[in-house]
Amino acid sequence: MPQYYVNDRAQANGDHEVHKYGCIWLAKVTSKTYLGTYESCHGAVQKAKTFYSTADGCAYCCPACHKK
């Protein structure tokens, strides 16, 4: 199962992006919190929302959980 992380620094729009291990954007994140392993991004985003209410999936690695 994939491992997920949430960016501890909010984007300009206030969202804290959730990334799957191996995402090209995760490599650029300097401060992140490990969320655990999940079958899909939905569980990871739900966990991330316990830290940051504005958590959202990365458009690149978690498109099913990225709000449009």
pLDDT at 57: 97
Whether the CB-CB separation of 20 and 3 falls below 8 Å is answered with: yes
Q: Are strands 16-20 and 3-7 parallel, antiparallel or unpaired?
A: antiparallel
* Total Cβ atoms within 10 A of residue 4: 30
Q: Model confidence over 16-64: pLDDT tens digits? A: 999 999 999 999 999 999 999 999 999 999 999 999 999 999 999 999 9
pLDDT at 68: 64
25: closest CA among 7, 10, 42, 2? 7
Element (H, E) at 48: helix 41-48
